[in-house]
Structure 1
Amino acid sequence: MTRVLFWLALALLVYFAIRSKLKQSQRRQQQLWEQQREQQQREQQRQSAQREVVRAEPMLRCAQCGVHFPASENVPVGGRDYCSPAHAPVK
């Protein structure tokens, strides 16, 4: 009878040891996955911040009305910048 109890106790010990190792491995994998996810999020944030900087366009001030407007909408006349053809002097 004692041999049966010994083998039963040994089997339970092995079972719980394997179970403990598997849980530990799963926790480690979960932590690695979370770290990779955080790193990807930081990389995406960095890339989006760089894109925003690239998208920024210089602003100019209209010589007529003083309104600031994007440089792509500039109407240059006589070395001065205007926000629209209506504000630019006719030559």
Structure 2
Amino acid sequence: MSRLLFWIILIVVIGFAVRAKLRAAIRKSQLQQQEGWRQQQYQQQGRQAEPASIENMTSCAHCGLHFPASEAVRADGLDYCSPAHVRLPPR
């Protein structure tokens, strides 16, 4: 009796695992189709998909922290991460 119960439970667990895998595959396929549709819309409008903007990085002359160059505080030809570090000596 316990062997029969074991096999029934095993079959049910395998069934749930297979079902979960199939659902995940279907969701992934749908997401890929949506992304393809977006690419087609951009191409039909005569433009390419907009790439993520990349910003130059710089490091603080005092502490060495890397941060976007647009946020730099510049003094004496050096980049600093904050006005407080401008007052401190560079490394």
Q: TM-score scaled by structure 2?
A: 0.50
Larger Rg: 1
Higher normalized contact order (CA 8 Å, seq sep 6+, divided by chain length): 2
Q: TM-score scaled by structure 1?
A: 0.50
